[in-house]
Amino acid sequence: MILTAEEYARGFIDFDAALPEGCTVELRTRTSDQPAEEGEWTGPYSDPKGAKVLSSAKPYIQLRVELRRGEDPTKTPILRKVRWERSGMTFIWPNRSGFFYGAPEQFILGRDYGVSYRLAFQPQRAGWPEPFVILGQRVRIRFWKGGIKGHEISGFRYAEPISKGTFSVEGNLTEVEAAGDILEVLVTVPGNNDEQTRQAAKSQVEAIVGLLALCFGEQILGKPVFADFYFSGIKGEQGDILVPVKHLLEVSVDRDVATLANEALTGLRESVISAPIGMALRWYAAGLDSESPVDAFISFFVGLEALSSSYFAGIEPKPVRKEYVQLKEYFANAQPAIDSKLEEIVLDRIADFPLTMKFDAYWKTQFGRATRESRKFSEFNRLRSTLLHGSVRSVTLPQVNAVRALLEKLLAKELGIEDLMDKRHLGPTLLELALTYATVPLHRTST
C-alpha cells in the first residue's frame, strides 16, 4: 500500500486474527491532544491486511476492538495482534504483559517483533517531488525528503582485538539527520536476535533494493547513509549501531614482492586455462569488494566453478560417465524403441559430470589428493544452490572465509605464488569487523 507523508503521519493499521466463516473483527481508532480528551472514533477497519488510519495525527491514541460471531455460535473469532504504525513508530497490542487493554507496546526502531534491518541511502540521480511510503507485510520503504535520523561514528581511529572476539574502538557516536531525498528500506524477520536471522533480514533488504533498481533504473542506487539492526522482543526493543569496518594493516610492497607478482603475471599468460583464471581473479576481486556476505560467498564460489569446469572441459580424452554408457546401451535395446529426440535430450543431460566431481578431479591434479578443506566444496555447492533457490538467505562469515581460502589456494597454485600466500597468512592482514558501538536507548512516552 502507498501512503502520502500526511497519510503516514496518521498511520496504517493491520491485525492478525483467526476468522472462522461468518466471524469478523472491527477496529476503531481515535486520537487527542490531551489524555482526558475524547475525540470521535474513526473506522471501522476490518481488513487484516491493513488500512489507512482516518484519525488525526495527534499525540494520544486509543484503540477499540469489536469481535463478532457469525450464525454458528460454536465459531468464534480470535484476535492475536493489532499493529498501528505511524510517523516511524509502531504500536502493538497485546503489550509485553499479554493484554489488549492499557498502553500498547511502542517501538521506535523496528516494525514488529523480531529482527529488523534498516538501510537508508541517497540515490545517485533520482528524486521525488513529494515524500511517500510503501508498506507491505513486515516491509517499509520510505521515499523521504530528509528527516531520517541515524547514527554515525566521528573521529574513528582504529579497531584492535582485545579478547574473546571483542574490540577496542576509538571514536565518537553521534545522532545525525540525513538531508535531501533519502530512500529508506526496513524489513522485519520473525525470530531470535541471532546471526542467521539478522542476515535473513539484511538479505531481504538487499533484494528489495535490487527490485527498486529494476523498477526505476540504477539511478535509484546510492551509498548507504545509515545501516542498522534492531531487535524487538517480549522484553523490549534495542538497537545495535553496527558499522562494518575493514581495518587493513599496513603492507610494504618492495621489489622482491613485485618480482613474484611479475612471475605470476607471466604464469597467467602462459597457462592453458588463462581465460578461466582471469575470470576467477575477477570474481575474487568482486568478492573482496562486496559488503554483503551472500554476494561475497557467491563471487568466490563462481571463481571456483570457473576453474573446475574449464579444467574438466580440457581433459583429453574426454571423460565419459558410466551412467551415460549404461543409459545409452539401455536405449539401444529398449522395446518399444525410445523416441530419438527424447533420447538425445536425456543423454545430453546426463553426459555432463556434476560440479563436485569436476572440482574433486581438478583439486587432485593440483595437490595430489583430497584434503579436509577440499571436502567442504560439496557443502558449499549445496549452500550455493539453496541460496539461489531461496530456501536459505544468509551465510556466515566462517563459510565466506572458507570458500575464499579454497579459491586463494587454487589461484596461488596455478600462478606459482604459494610461498607468497603462505607469508600473507602467517599473520592477520585483514580484520573484518561488525562493531556494536552502542545500544540505542528507547525513550518511551505515555499514550
Q: What is the mean pLDDT of each run of 10 residues along the chain (447 residues)?
A: 93 94 94 88 93 94 92 90 91 84 85 90 91 90 88 64 55 79 93 86 88 89 86 77 59 72 72 76 87 88 91 72 72 79 73 81 89 90 88 83 91 82 57 52 39
pLDDT of residue 68: 92
Cβ pair 363, 374 in contact under 8 A: yes
pLDDT of residue 302: 94
Asked if residue 94 has a cis previous peptide bond (ω within 30° of 0), the answer is: yes
Indicate the helix (H) or strand (E) that contains 437.
strand 430-440
pLDDT of residue 3: 93
pLDDT of residue 241: 65
Report long-range pairs for 88-92 (Cβ below 8 Å, ≥24 apart).
Answer: 91/61, 91/447
Cβ pair 308, 276 in contact under 8 A: no
pLDDT of residue 442: 44
**What's the CA gap between 361 and 369, in Å, rounded?**
9
Buried b (16+ CB within 10 A) or exposed e, 128-147: eeebbbebeebebbbbbbee
Tell me, what DSSP letter sits at residue 392? -
Report long-range pairs for 357-360 (Cβ below 8 Å, ≥24 apart).
Answer: 358/308, 358/309, 358/311, 358/312, 359/304, 359/308
Q: Where are the domains of the chain?
A: 8-107, 111-247+431-441, 250-427
pTM (global) more than 0.85: no
Q: For residue 30, which of 46, 53, 52 has the smallest C-alpha distance?
A: 53
**What's the CA gap between 86 and 7, in Å, rounded?**
9
Q: For residue 383, which of 360, 407, 356, 363 has the smallest C-alpha distance?
A: 356
pLDDT of residue 244: 54
pLDDT of residue 324: 62
pLDDT of residue 298: 94
Cβ pair 306, 355 in contact under 8 A: no
Tell me, what DSSP letter sits at residue 77? -
**What's the CA gap between 401 and 45, in Å, rounded?**
50
